[in-house]
Structure 1
Amino acid sequence: MERKQLRELLDGGVLLTSRALEAGWPRRSLTRKLREQGWVRLHAGAWAEPGSSPDLITRLRAVQLIRPRLIVSHRSAAAIWGIETLRRSTGTPLEFIDPGRTLHGGERGVRVRRMHVAPSEVTMIRHGLRLTGVRRTLTDLLRAGPRDDAVVAVESALGCRTVNGIRRPPLTDVAALTASLKAKAGSPGTARASTWLRLCDPHAGSPAETIARLRLHDAGLHPESQAELITPAGRRVRLDFFFRAKGLAVEIEGYAYHGTRDSHRRDVARYNQILQCPEVRSLLRFTAEDVFHRPAYMIQEIRTALAKKL
């Protein structure tokens, strides 16, 4: 019987060693052919076509095809849903839940948690990839922490965001997440997760804004977030942060996350409009780099501005 070509055995871009062996390929010949043709190793026993650059879904499916009971979760699920996180999906472990709680350990680059998952909390997308739904993904991140990572993810899901060039609507709301956490009362990390959820602002516009607000909170500074003002020309502007009593506006440029020069130019024009508002007496601007890598500098600049006499 003539053996099938390896490409004929692909399943959604993934070739399983076990499937090739079942199709009649001798193990030694298969190993040699995979090496000669330059197949890309995805996971132990799973390969992608030569010359391909496997995307996240393909890499996740490779693991799930070998371990069918696993469910994509946490940051891996967040990336599929278009939810921003502090850690990029590339270079971080692929994350799964084993609802049967029987698997131990895992290959390098794969993290498996043993947790219960209700069928209603699982969604299936293209090629049969199974992952936790939005609400379960976010409650898992809130319960697992750390705080900054979790709050960034939740605020991303609560608002309209452009992720990987695609504009998407809000994916959930605070009430739904509160109910999800309440249903898990008594489970590890749930009480702390509820506290972190109360820190979330549905109107935050970027991960940089989220982290800036958390740094202000930790420093004991509590400005209005997303305060809306009217310019003398009648235009509405929304401030990232506003210390109204001092007339101090604080804006986070967020260029590293907004991602285009056009959006950066629009931000600069908006800064000029902000200064036209009679309530605003001074304006501080910080970059995403300041927020993530120089938060002490940002806090000190704000404290200095607040200390100035009116």
Structure 2
Amino acid sequence: MTVPGLPEVFVGRDAVRDGVLTAAHLRGPKVRRLFRGVYCPRSVRDSHELRCRAAALTGEGALVLTGRSAAVVRGVPLASMSDPVEVIALPGHRVNRRPGLQVRRVVIDKQDYEPWEQISIARPERMMFDVLATGSFIRAVADADRILRAELTTQARMTAYLEDRHDHGVVRAREVLALTDPRAESPPESELRVRMHFVGLHPEPQLHIYSGRKFIARVDFAFEEVKLVVEYDGDWHGQGWALSKDRDRMNKLSKEGWEIVFVTKEMMRDPAAVLDMIEAALRRVGGGSARRRRAEIPR
């Protein structure tokens, strides 16, 4: 049931004051509570962006939306409905902790945020810094790849932004940034690239392969010197037209002497086995017989 006069997110006491709802309605089936005192109609689809907008109505006006939450608002879906809304509390302001609100108390420069809704939102470089500096190392690379691919910022701008900073997490942010690549087309591709990097494998991502002047295929990863392709086979590859098109380009690559290693989502549950498979394929095609030095992926 919809309730006329209610916006997608609203402060409960305001709706009661205006006579749109009663206090009893706030405890009933017509609305859903997002934060203490902030609600949405039950018919509204819940999402992380909706929860960000709800966070702006909590009365905690001294907040800056940042990190993956700011990325969602800017069009890059890095957080789910169940993830907490990431905010920075501005200096000199007391902010009450609330379930679903992840509050950080760190220094943020005034030029690093701008007005948004009833609070503020981090500008792209500050937003990206908070993504680079938080979460697991692999997730940070994958999320940063998506931000770069969406062209919200660039590697060059981020390098300049981080250059003279001494914030907590800036060393980790630089390490993650060094491994980003906006050519990545999915988080699993980013993960596979990072895992290969840490065992000493450095294929060329998104390589265009030609036979003479004729374009044959663009592949996820290629060891061009030994004609070995590594393809991440996402869910869409098995769907109708995509399967047919994919098999056609793989056949063309095989005809030109390329060997192809397929990696699937299920296989990535055991990344060590995937790396062993790729290394075995490299040895088979003459890409080296010695086992490569494996380094631990930072946390």
Alpha-carbon deviation of 1:215?
Answer: 0.9
Q: Is residue 276 of structure 2 the alignment partner of residue 300 of structure 1? A: yes
Q: How does 1:21-32 map to 2 (within 5 A)?
A: 22-23=17-18, 30-32=22-24
Task: Encode CA deviations 1:98-135: one digit per residue, 9 max, x unaligned.
Answer: 1236445622222111123334322445x556322222
Q: Aligned AA for 1:19?
A: D
Partner amino acid, structure 2, of 1:305: A
How far apart are 1:295 and its partner, in Å? Answer: 1.1
Q: Where does residue 129 of structure 2 map in the other structure?
A: 139
8 Å contact kept, 1:231–1:273: no
Which residue does the alignment assign to 2:76?
A: 83
Identity of aligned residues (%): 28
Instruction: Identify if the C-alpha distance between structure 1 residues 301 and 101 changes in structure 2 by more than 3 Å, giving closer, same or farther.
Output: farther
Q: Is the 8 A contact 1:229 1:236 kept in 2?
A: yes
Q: Unaligned stretches of 5+ in structure 1?
A: 1-5, 160-168
* DSSP-derived class of the 1:31 partner: coil
**Which of 142, 149, 153 is 1:172 aligned to?**
153
Q: Deviations over 1:2-29 (max 9, x none)?
A: xxxx854x4x42221332455479xxx9
Tell me which of 243, 246, 251 is aligned to 2:226.
246
Task: Give the residue type in structure 2 aligned to 1:72.
Answer: L
The residue type equivalent to 1:148 in the other structure is I
The change in CA–CA distance for 1:100 and 1:288 in structure 2 (over 3 A counts) is same
SS state at 1:107 partner: coil
Give 1:26-41 correspondences, 5 Å limit: 30-36=22-28, 38-41=30-33
Shift of 1:56: 2.8
Conserved in 2, the CA contact under 8 Å of 1:78 and 1:137? yes
Q: Which amino acid aligns with 2:11?
A: L
Distance in 1 of aligned mates of 2:126 and 2:260: 39
Secondary structure of residue in 2 paired with 1:283: strand
Q: Structure 2: how far apart are the matches of 1:59 and 1:204?
A: 28
Opposite residue 114 of structure 1, the aligned amino acid is R
TM-score (norm 2): 0.82
What's the CA shift string for 1:204-228, capped at 9, x where partnerless?
Answer: 2211111001111122222222233
Residue 142 of structure 2 corresponds to residue 152 of structure 1 = yes
| Counterpart in the other structure of 1:74 | 67
Deviations 1:17-63 (A, max 9, x none): 332455479xxx93313234521111100111243323333322222
Cα 1:302–1:24 shift into 2, 3 Å = closer
TM-score, normalised via structure 1 length:
0.80
Q: Which amino acid aligns with 1:77?
A: A
Q: Give runs of aligned pairs for residues 229-308 of structure 1, distance below 5 A.
A: 229-231=209-211, 234-255=214-235, 262-263=241-242, 265-278=244-257, 280=258, 282-291=259-268, 293-308=269-284
Gap change, CA 1:237 and 1:15, over 3 Å in 2? same
Structure 2 gap ranges (5+) = 287-299
Alignment partner for residue 113 of structure 2, among 122, 127, 144? 122
Measure the CA separation in 1 of the matches of 2:128 and 2:215: 36
Q: Which residue of 2 aligns with 1:196?
A: 176
- Residue pair 1:250, 1:284 contacting (<8 A) in 2 also: yes
2:45 counterpart of 1:53? yes
- The two structures, once aligned, show a CA RMSD in angstroms of 2.8
CA distance in 1, matches of 2:67, 2:241: 33
Tell me the distance in 1 between the aligned counterparts of 2:252 and 2:94: 57
Distance, in Å, in 1 between the alignment partners of 2:28 and 2:256 is: 67
Q: What is residue 95 of structure 1 aligned with on the other side? A: 86
- Does 1:107 pair with 2:86? no
Whether contact under 8 Å (1:228, 1:238) holds in the other structure is yes
Number of residues paired by the alignment?
Answer: 283
